[in-house]
Amino acid sequence: MINLIFLGPPGSGKGTQAKIISQKLSLPIISTGDILREETNKKSKIGLEASSYMDAGQLVPDEVVISIIEGKISTSEYDNGFIMDGFPRNAIQAQKLDMMLKSLNRKIDLVLELEIETEILIERMLARFTCGNCGEIYNKLSKKPQKKNICDICGSSNFIFRKDDNEEVIRSRQEVYHSTAKDLVEFYLTKGLIYKLDASESSSFITEKILGQINNVTQNSN
């Protein structure tokens, strides 16, 4: 069993790496951003509460995301471990997660922190889009579909750009990340769990480094 967290500013490739590692190791992903987007589309109570914060690039209140995680983490789906993408986002969420895991006799094994310059990120995020059918992530600069307008995975032509991927909201999301990330990284640094990665490297290189580190951690814990 291994419990992983991906940290890094929006657009650093967390979601992409989380998906790759999830497939390679058959580990389920818990992405608060994806869950909140689903809730918003369903127009549920949580979705309606979250959408104004999300549209402005601000963090949704801690109680909302913490209750989402509480509902998920104790279910049998995550018995063999999980990958968290987008949670925790600040030290309060990290402390709360620690308490929840302790009560389940579990812990975080590794925190992967993707680092990259803001200006590179903004260029990347303005270019990213996903398949509206299967969720495959693309980028106009670095990963176009092999056949124009056709998803490589499922053949759909329904591509979507995220509503919060416009420059003003992107800049605000970067500021939000940097204002809360320091405490968060510090929290996991003191526990000796952080492994830093240069997110400007190629995706396959980063994946190899992550797999290598997961190997180190699992071997050391045996």
Please work out the total of residues on this chain that contact ligand AMP, with binding judged by CB under 6 A.
16
- Rounded Cα gap, residues 8 and 138, in angstroms: 19
162 catalytically annotated: yes
125 contacts ligand AMP (rule: CB under 6 A): no
Minimal distance, residue 123 CB to ligand AMP, in Å: 17
Q: Helix crossing, 62-73 with 91-103: angle to 10°? A: 20
Site string for ligand AMP, 71-100 (x = CB under 6 A): ---------------xx-x---x-------
Q: What angle do CA 72, 78, 84 make, to 5 degrees?
A: 70
- 60 binds ligand AMP, rule: CB under 6 A: yes
Residue 116 sits in the site that holds ligand AMP (CB under 6 A): no
The token duo for 191 is 């526990």
Q: How far apart are CA 214 and CA 202, in angstroms?
A: 19
Measured CA to CA, the distance from residue 218 to residue 30 in angstroms comes to: 21
**How far, in Å, are 16, 36, 62, 117 from residue 68 at the CA level?**
22, 9, 10, 31
* Closest distance of CB 86 from ligand AMP, Å: 3
Residue 19 Cβ vs ligand AMP, minimum distance, rounded to whole Å: 13
Binding mask 163-192 for ligand AMP (x = CB under 6 A): ----------x-------------------
Residue 145 CA to residue 76 CA, distance in Å, equals 36
To ligand AMP, the closest distance from the beta carbon of 85 in angstroms equals 7
Q: Is-catalytic flag, 124?
A: no
Residue 9 found at the interface with ligand AMP (CB under 6 A): no
